[in-house]
């Protein structure tokens, strides 16, 4: 067992898969010689050569389109979109092609690709380096959408994604790359080396793509969340003294509905927490599912704590970000309701 940051864990996952499967290739903007703007692929080109790990032109539709062709050939491409905010030029390739290829060809061709992209704010990235576009992808049939909240899951989920024969959107909360950020931006972040989830096996293991984790058991309410907000919700529970059960969804879609339903039935109250904008966000789907499956167990309306329905601002970042105080207020509303 080693201690790894999320960056190191992601790199380790790609290293393991490049070593194990000669069909794995990695490409994207700046990922080759330089090792990526967040250093996730550092050293991999040197270790595996330029035909396995290489730089791509600034063309997201070209990157994903080429990856689909490679997947059809029999490779397992892992591509990096430098920021999730940059993925939109590739939407046609992702939505109309990768997600549909197996279906429309009745299984003759598949798109076993993993599309990695850093998401979320908290780094003063402004509206073009801070978005959480997960709901665009959970809406698309044929895609798997994954977002880890810690190094252990990041490595296990990434290996599972690379081995998966379905296309996977792999969202990496960049604010968690170096530590479990709890939303207190004015305090230093604890490094992953001091967190139990920073303990990561060096070799191969997977975290299944359809299982949520009970991040913190609790009795008073269920917080459904993922990514950075797992740690923010935990902080809100500690600081408010509210015994929230925090479910880390890990795989957004397909969703581990059983874990969600069991928790809400137990606590009778539900708060949905995400950093993305609220309207038609993934939280809306979660609220609908909880209503459909747990209505007679609910003792209060479902509460949503999310980013505002505005572009992610630059200077007002911390007024936008749903920090521990806003999450705790949401918890209180769910208890009062």
Partner 1 sequence: MSASAPLAPLRLHVPEPTGRPGQHTDFSYLHVSPAGSVRRPPIDTPPYDTSDLAFALVRVLDDEGNAVGPWVPELTPDELRFGLRTMLKTRIFDARMLIAQRQKKLSFYMQCLGEEAIAVAHALALEPDDMTFPTYRQQGLLMARGAPLVDIMCQLFSNERDPMKGRQLPVLYSFRKYGFFSISGNLATQYPQAVGWAMASAIKGDTKIASGWIGDGSTAESDFHAALIFAHVYRAPVILNVVNNQWAISTFEAIAGGEGTTFAARGIGAGIASLRVDGNDFLAVYAASRWAAERARGNFGPTLIEWVTYRAGAHSTSDDPTKYRPADDWEHFPLGDPIARLKQHLIKRGEWSEERHAALQQELEAEIAAAQKEAERYGTLADGQVHSAADMFTDVYETMPAHLVRQRQELGV
Single out the residue of 59, 128, 219, 280 in contact with partner 1 (rule: CB under 8 A).
Answer: 59
Nearer to partner 1, 191 or 254 (CB): 254
* Footprint on residues 178-217 left by partner 1 (CB under 8 A): 210
* C-alpha dihedral sign at 242, 248, 253, 255: negative
62 token code pair: 């070209």
Q: Find the part of the chain contacting partner 1 (CB under 8 A) among 88-96, 147-155, 260-268, 272-280.
A: 88-96
Single out the residue of 19, 43, 46, 96 in contact with partner 1 (rule: CB under 8 A).
Answer: 96
CA dist 285 and 139 (Å) reads 9
Alpha helices in 74-195 (DSSP H): 91-92, 101-104, 134-138, 151-163
CA dihedral of residues 287, 256, 21, 167 (deg, nearest 10): -40
* Footprint on residues 225-264 left by partner 1 (CB under 8 A): 254-255, 257
Question: Whose CA is closest to 71, among 43, 41, 92, 94?
Answer: 94
Q: Is 166 in the site for partner 1 (CB under 8 A)?
A: yes
In this structure, how many other beta carbons lie within 10 angstroms of the beta carbon of residue 115?
29
Single out the residue of 30, 42, 72, 211 in contact with partner 1 (rule: CB under 8 A).
Answer: 72
290 token code pair: 């909880």
Q: Find the part of the chain contacting partner 1 (CB under 8 A) among 3-11, 67-75, 123-131, 225-233.
A: 67-75
Q: Is 159 in the site for partner 1 (CB under 8 A)?
A: no
Least Å from the CB of residue 251 to partner 1: 10
Nearer to partner 1, 166 or 182 (CB): 166
CA dist 141 and 143 (Å) reads 6
- For residue 112, give the DSSP letter: -
Which residues would be at the binding site for partner 1 (CB under 8 A)?
25, 51-52, 56-57, 59, 61-62, 65-75, 77, 89, 92-93, 96-97, 100-110, 141-142, 144, 164-166, 210, 254-255, 257
């Amino acid at each position: 067992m080693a201690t790894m940051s999320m960056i190191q864990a992601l790199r380790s996952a790609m290293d393991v898969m490049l070593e194990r499967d000669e069909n794995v290739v990695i490409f994207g903007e700046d990922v080759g010689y330089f090792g990526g703007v967040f250093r996730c692929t550092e050293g991999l080109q040197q270790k595996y050569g330029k035909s396995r790990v290489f730089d791509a032109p600034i063309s997201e539709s070209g990157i994903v389109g080429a990856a689909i062709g490679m997947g059809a050939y029999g490779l397992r491409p892992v591509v990096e979109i430098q920021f999730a905010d940059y993925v939109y030029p590739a939407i046609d390739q992702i939505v109309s092609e990768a997600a549909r290829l197996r279906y429309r060809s009745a299984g003759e061709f598949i798109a076993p690709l993993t599309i990695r992209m850093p998401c979320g704010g908290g780094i003063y990235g402004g509206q073009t380096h801070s978005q959480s576009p997960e709901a665009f992808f959970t809406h698309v049939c044929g895609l798997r959408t994954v977002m880890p909240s810690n190094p252990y899951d990041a490595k296990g989920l990434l290996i599972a994604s690379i081995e998966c024969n379905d296309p996977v959107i792999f969202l990496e909360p960049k604010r968690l790359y170096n530590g479990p950020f709890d939303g207190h931006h004015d305090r230093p972040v604890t490094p992953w080396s001091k967190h139990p989830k920073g303990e990561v096996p060096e070799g191969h293991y997977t975290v299944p793509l359809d299982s949520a984790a009970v991040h913190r058991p609790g009795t008073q309410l269920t917080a459904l969340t993922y990514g950075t907000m797992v740690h923010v919700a935990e902080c809100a529970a500690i600081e408010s003294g509210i015994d929230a059960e925090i479910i880390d969804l890990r795989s957004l879609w397909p969703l581990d509905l059983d874990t969600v339903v069991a928790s809400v039935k137990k606590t009778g109250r539900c708060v949905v927490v995400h950093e993305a904008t609220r309207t038609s966000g993934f939280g809306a789907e979660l609220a609908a599912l909880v209503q459909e499956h747990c209505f007679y167990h609910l003792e209060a309306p479902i509460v949503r704590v999310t980013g505002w329905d505005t572009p992610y601002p630059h200077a007002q970042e911390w007024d936008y970000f749903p920090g521990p105080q806003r999450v705790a207020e949401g918890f209180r509303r769910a208890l009062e309701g």
